[in-house]
């Protein structure tokens, strides 16, 4: 079966940046499983997997535009320390969920200077070219329940 809209695809991957640093891998774990066309993985990788089949191996370079987007400077903001009520020690690297006009947004603390905290709402991989080394392990039809829920059930997916 070829990968097409609403197929369940399982694959092993290693993700590296342009410097060759491993950012993520499925090595030692179950393959990643997703529903093709449901927006579960970055668009650039999904587009390159279209039409492939179980056993195929490929290397894919995903541009920021087809990955996590370019860095948006408007998502980097200075906020007063007292906006973090109930948090005593705020350090770079901590993540919080902020309420914005567009809904909830995960932000990462990048700097703490006195009573000012700098937060970044960009995805940590925004602006990066994503280099995937992929091995497709299975392609099957999605069940009606998986399609209804928008995610894979069972091995490599959600258990519920």
- Indicate if 14 and 58 belong to the same structural domain: yes
- For residue 106, what are the contacts with CB-CB under 8 A and spacing of at least 6? 95, 96, 97, 98, 121
Kindly state whether residue 1 falls inside one of the protein's structural domains. no
Kindly give the confidence (pLDDT) of every residue in the chain, 160 residues in length, as a single tens digit, with 9 standing for 90 and above.
Answer: 999 999 999 999 999 999 999 999 999 999 999 999 999 999 999 999 999 999 999 999 999 999 999 999 999 999 999 999 889 899 999 999 988 888 899 999 999 999 999 999 999 999 999 999 999 999 999 999 999 998 898 765 555 4
98 part of a folded domain: yes
pTM of the model: 0.82
In a domain, 158, yes or no: no
Tally the domains of the chain.
Answer: 2
Write out the residue range of the structural domain in which residue 83 sits.
73-120
CATH of the domain at 111: 2.40.10.330
100 assigned to some structural domain: yes
Separation between Cα atoms, residue 54 and residue 128, nearest integer Å: 28
* Residue 157 included in any domain: no
**55, part of any domain:** yes
Residue 156 located in a structural domain: no
């Amino acid at each position: 079966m070829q990968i097409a809209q609403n197929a369940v695809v399982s694959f092993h991957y290693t993700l590296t940046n342009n410097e060759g640093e491993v950012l993520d891998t499925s090595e030692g774990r179950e393959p990643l499983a997703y529903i093709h066309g449901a927006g579960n993985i970055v668009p650039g990788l999904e587009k390159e997997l279209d039409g492939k089949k179980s056993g195929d191996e490929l290397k894919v370079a995903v541009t920021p535009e087809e990955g996590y987007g370019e860095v948006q400077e408007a998502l980097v903001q200075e906020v007063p320390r007292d906006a973090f009520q109930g948090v005593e020690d705020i350090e770079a690297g901590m993540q919080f969920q902020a309420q914005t006009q567009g809904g909830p947004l995960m932000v990462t603390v990048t700097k703490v200077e006195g009573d000012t905290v700098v937060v970044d709402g960009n995805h940590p991989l925004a602006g990066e070219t994503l280099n995937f080394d992929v091995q497709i392990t299975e392609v099957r039809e999605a069940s009606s329940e998986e399609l209804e829920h928008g995610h894979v059930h069972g091995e490599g997916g959600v258990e519920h």
